[in-house]
Amino acid sequence: MNAHAHVLATPIGPLTVVAADGVVVAVRFAAPDGSAALQPGDGPATTDPEVPVEPVLAAAVDQLHEYFNGARQEFDLPLEPTGTVFQRRCWAALVELPYATTTTYARQADRLGDPRAVRAVGAANGRNPIPVIIPCHRVIGADGRLVGFGGGLAAKAWLLDHEQRTAGAQLPL
């Protein structure tokens, strides 16, 4: 695997974007100490304001900058999240969620054809290796509360509020 990484400065903290062999394979939130979440095998890393040499990584960085600046609502990138068949089905369903909307784990399980799979859907979403681009932040608890997010609930709230603001509405949080 020929991987490259880029550490992107964002309003929710540094995100490490990893691409390999022409596809985006990971977006990681900062480590607990606030440092970049680089892992062995990520390959050479660049940081803002450098422009990555790898074309798909450069496109991902550009599109994430546009998203955080409010100029992009959908990503157009080749993605290859690593996971089980069920996890990949869950993540594919997340990509279909419209910008600035939310759903619940139960509704996502219903859409996947198994209303009893609520916990499995939650677990799959929790293992999403490409958050923000695969928008697991748009899934909330059945009671409307923000629950479970790898980047923390403050980041989830920021992302949802950002989407609502840029879509011209306010989410009551």
Task: Indicate if 136 belongs to the active site.
Answer: yes
> Count of CB atoms within 10 A of residue 167's CB?
15
Catalytic residue among 56, 77, 136, 160: 136
38-60 residue pLDDT tens: 888 888 888 988 888 899 999 99
Residue-level pLDDT at 33: 77
Q: Is the pTM of this model over 0.85?
A: yes
Let me know: does 115 contact 153? Beta carbons within 8 Å.
no
How many Å apart are CA 96 and CA 75, to the nearest integer? 11
Fold classification of 85-166 (topology level): Arc Repressor Mutant, subunit A (1.10.10)
How many Å apart are CA 105 and CA 119, to the nearest integer? 8
Domain locations in the chain? 3-68, 85-166
Rounded to the nearest integer, the mean pLDDT of the chain is: 91
